[in-house]
Structures are given as C-alpha cells and as structure tokens.
Chain A
Amino acid sequence: MRFNKNKIFNIIVYIISFLFFIALILLLSGIFFQTSPGLFIKELENVNLWNSIFLSFKISFIVILINLIIGIPIAYILSFHNSKISFILDSVSNLPLTTSPLVIGFAVLITMGPLNPVGKLFIDNGIKFVFTPQGIVLVQLIISFPFFVNIVKTSFDSINRNIIDLSKTLGADSFDILSKIILPLSYNGIMAGLAISWSRSMGEYAATQMISGVIPNVTETAPIEVFVKTSYGNYPAAIAIAGILMLVSMFSLGVFKYFSYKMKPK
C-alpha cells in the first residue's frame, strides 16, 4: 500500500478522534465500575434520591413548557423580521450562552433578594424566587432558552420564504401562517429544541445551586444531590443518582438526534 498525503491525512484525523472518543467513554462510564449492582439497587430504595430526581423532572418540565411559550415568538422575530430589534434580541438571547451559569444564578439571587427593588416588589406580592423551586425554574429558563431558540430559529430559517409569501395571497393571515405552515414544518426542530433544553435544565448545577439554598426535598435537584452526597462521602448514593442522570441524558440525546436528523432536508 502506498501512502499518499490524503491517506496520511485521514489516518491522523481518525486517530485523534478515536483516541478522544475512547477517553471520553472511559471517563464517563467510570462511575458504573465504582459500584456493585447490589449497592446500586439498595441506593435506589432511598426516598431522598427519588425526591430529588422527581423535583428535577418537574422543574425541567415546567422550564420547557415556558420555553415553548416564549421561545417560539422570539424565534419568529429572529427568523422572519430583519430589523435592529431582531439583532438586539438575538444578542441578548444568546448572552446566557457566554455567561458563567454561576454568575447568572448569582445575579438572580441578588436581583430577587429583599434588598433589590425588583425582588422586593415580588416578595411584597407574595412571590419568592430565592431558595424556592420557582427560583430554580427562573434560572434554568435563562440558561436553557438560548438552546431552544437557536434550534427553532434554524428550523424557521429553512422554510422557503416564497411559500410563506404565496400563502399570504391565498388569504392566510399571520396567525394562519404560524399555525398551519410554520409550526407544522418546524415540528422536528421544536422537538429537538425541547430535548436539548430539557437535558440542559435537568443537568444544570451551578446557577441552580446559587438560588436553591439546598433545602432537602424542596429545592434539592438531582445534580445538587450528587454534590451533597459526594461531600458527605456517600459515594454509592452519589453514583446511583449520577447514573440515573446519565441514562436520562442518553435518552434525551437520542430524542434530540432523532428529530434533528429528521429536520435536515432530504
């Protein structure tokens, strides 16, 4: 076999990717080798563990619902309206992607605290964000919605503008166009967006920790529980939760890949 430059190129590209792939698998699956099946199953009987996992599910479900409600209008403006407003909106909505989650959590903690006029207004009206599940919803929303909006926008962008224009002349107003054309054509993109923002919200730790106050059974989400258990030295419990979280993310990755594959035009 003769080695030409193209072959050497391929070999290098594959070796680097493959080595990294092996390392990643070993790193992530490590937690499953640290425990025995018996110990794992015993930990699964712990009520605290399930409480934290259910809390995470509940919060992330609310987060994606809100994402759906606010994300679609934002993606609509970003994709269909070319103006200064959409440019500003685009930058602002992507800001959470480049900001440290810890800083986001901290900012919400300060803003919603009793010393800040905004926080005071809410607190006076009986709505508390600090150390409450709704506070967690708020920070996870901030962190996950750019993922949702970006995917939905890409999906909106791929819709043929002439089809939209033509449907206007057939008598479709903006409501008709959104409900009968844009949304059905972006179904896959929206599902993929929901999957990715859901898994982002399920796994969020830093910002959540800032606002949660770590109250067992009330604001202790699954990722926080992993940290708490680890700091007590209760590795079997931490491993059990981490294992479940990993299965959950594999599932949502599967959902995401399925829909984002279908989203690609054939």
Chain B
Amino acid sequence: MKLLEIKNIYKNFSNKKVLHGINLDIENGEISSIFGYSGEGKSTLLKIICGIIKQDSGDIVLNEKNINNLEPYERSTTLVMDEPLLFPHMNVLENIAFGSKLRANKKRHTTSNKKALESPKEIMGLLGITGLEKRYPSEISMGQAQRVSLARALIVNPEIILMDEPFSNLDIISKTKVRKLIKEINCELKISILLVTHDIEDVINLSNKMFILNKGEIKDSGRPKDVLKKPSSIETAFLIGTENIFDGIISEIDKKNNIVKIRLKNEKPENIYIEADYYGTFKVNERIVFAIRPEEVMILREDRGASRSVRENHFTGKIISSVFTLRMMEILIKSESGLEFKALIPFHAYEVMHLFEGKTINISLKKSAIHIIEKKKR
C-alpha cells in the first residue's frame, strides 16, 4: 500500500533551481532512502514533506490525502536531523515526552497496522537509553542524544519518520548501534522511514528501496541491489561509486542467443571485443559505456585452467597494485591491451592463489555481470 506520494515537486530558492519535478512513492512499513550529492536538495525535500518549507508547486499525498495545506503539526510526519536538537531546558524524559503532551497528538489515532508506543519508558527500553531520564542534553553523549531524538520522534506515532543523515555526526560504534536500532524499530513497529544519506553502505544495509536524487530529479529508483548493479546513467554510476567503467561501441547484436558484442575503445590498433547479455534497445554502432562491479571480476586459478563456465571474456594482465581494505583485497589489473580492471577478492583467496604485485594472471568477466549504460545523446 502506498503511504506517501510525492508528485511533481518543484522548489527554487531565489532563482536557484533546487528541486525540479520530484516524483516518488513510498510503501507502508518500508525503509526508503534518498541518496545524492551534497547540496542536491535532499534536506529541502524532507522539509517540504513535513511542511517546514513550502514547495513552489506539486503535491504531497499521505495515506491518499493531500497534505499540501496542512501545517507541520497537523501532518504526522516527524523529522530527525543530523544533530539531535534536544530541548536544552528539558531533561531526557521531558524531551521524549514532549510530543505526547501536545494537543495535536492527543486526538491522533493511527490508521495503519503500526504498533503504537505510548509510554516514554517503553520507548527508552527499546532504544537502550533507560537510566538517562533525569539527565540534561548537555550531560549525555552524541550517540545517546541521537537515540533520545529518535525516541522523541517515535512517541507521537507518526505515519512516517523522515531522517536527515541521522548518523553523520556519530562515531563508528554509535553509528552501528543506531543503524541496528533503526532496522529493529522498522521491523518491530512496522513504522515507515524515509532516510536521507550520503553513505551508500546505509542505503544497502537499511533500505528496501532507494531513490537517487541528482540535478533536482529522481534519476534511479528501486531495490538497492538492482540500482547498484544496473545504474541507468553514467552520472548515477559515478554517484554510487561504480568502478570499472569502459567506453565502447555496439558492434553486433545476436538476438537469437541474446548476446551483444561490444567493441572496446583502447589504445591498441587491434580490436578488442567483449560479450554481454542483450537487453534493452541498443542498436549496432551505438556508442555506450558499460560497467562491471569489482567483486564480479573473476581471477582464474592457474591450477585448474579455464573451466567451461568461466570461458567468457578472457583477459590476461598483470597485477599492478593490491591494497588491503576493510574486508577485502582491492587489486588493480592491467591487461595486455592496456585496460585497467579493479577486482575485489576475499583476503584468504588472495593468499591461496599466491597473488602478488607484478604477477601475471587471467581474468574472466561473466556476460551476465556486464551492465550496459546508454550514453546520453547530445
């Protein structure tokens, strides 16, 4: 069931175009996230949804009711920002209870299947901040304060909680805790959340659906896995950190076997081809780019030779660098034809295969892992 529909929202700030016809739908009970560069208008969009600023045009529909003309206090949309913004003159308990004592919330009854939380104690227990009741905001840590801020938003039983980079000021440990909490809240209370973030990890770990906001429009949307695998444009690909992007020209389309052959742009005189699954509407001789995710670049084991399944798109190259990152080895391979591929492999695989910088190896790129992106027509 659709909970929130944003329809064609436009917003300019004194001639600066910020939002440019935003359309998005949010399902009930899900965590959705908006991802985009800094200054793209993500916060502006959240503020428009909860009514703190007014859109120039467009509609906001919550539970099939147009809420354009409602004041923020009438909207049942609460906001959690990157700072906790606790009321400095109230202790933790008073901060949390703030919303529950207001007239606007007394007559509010929830329509959906959400589990309503009533007592501050219950919420504090859920968020692991029991015992802080009497403390003042200046006497608790940033991570605790952000959880208090979350509790304060939860107590009013909103239809949706809007979160504007709620982790950006937290250290890694608190960040992990708050992330987990948000997931738990969503599961237990079935409360819908719209999360703004510029950390792609948050998007992948938390959200059921993601939206990419770029140049004032929603460019891509869908399940994070799909969007990440198949960005619809080069801009999106760059935004979500897609690596291994190459230029090419469609040279052959074999519709019967569902294969498309791409000629790679490279420095060498001889042509290099790569095969991919055919989908979409490409034409022969069309210029395109394609991408392959580093974790899908397969390094072939010398002892086994190339087995049938990984016969596709073979390249021979040299490891020119290998870096140990948080969980994986990140290696850069330069092929004989001058192409550079980045690959991510587990550390133990790196050791088992006796890989080292300077070693010559064979790699294979599975057809299904190659994602073709149409080039913008000028």
Contact = CB atoms under 8 A, between A and B. Distances in A.
Contacts of A165: 47, 52, 72, 79
Contact of A184 (B50, B89, B104): B89
Interface stretch (B29-37, B80-88, B297-305): B80-88
Given A165-B52, A166-B81, A171 B89 contact: no
Interface residues of B, number: 28
Grouping DSSP codes into helix (H, G, I), strand (E, B) and loop, the A interface class, with mixed when no group exceeds half, is helix
A58 B98 CA distance: 39
Contacts of B71: 168, 173
A227 to B, nearest CB: 45
B367 interface: no
Kindly state the interface size class of chain A when it binds its partner: 10 to 19
B209 interface: no
A176 B99 CA distance: 10
B85 A170 contact: no
A44 interface: no
Contact of A173 (B78, B104, B156): B104
Interface string B188-228: 00000000000000000000000000000000000000000
B52 A170 contact: no
A180 interface: yes
B105 interface: yes
Contact of B77 (A167, A169, A180, A185): A169
Given A165-B52, A181-B87, A185-B88, A172 B81 contact: no
Contacts of A160: 85
B212 to A, nearest CB: 25
B248 interface: no
Nearest to A175: B103
B50 A163 contact: no
In the complex, which of the residues B73, B103, B105 has the most CB atoms of chain A within 10 Å of its own CB atom? B73
Contact of B105 (A163, A171, A181): A171
A169 B78 CA distance: 5
Interface in A136-177: 160, 162-163, 165-173, 176
Contact of A172 (B50, B73, B83, B153): B73
A30 to B, nearest CB: 45
A170 B152 contact: yes
Interface in B77-116: 77-79, 81, 83, 85, 87-89, 98-99, 102-105, 108
Given A169-B77, A180-B98, A185 B89 contact: yes
Contacts of A181: 87
A172 B89 contact: no
Interface string B47-66: 10011100000000000000
A183 to B, nearest CB: 10
Nearest to A171: B104
Interface of A: 160, 162-163, 165-173, 176, 180-181, 184-185
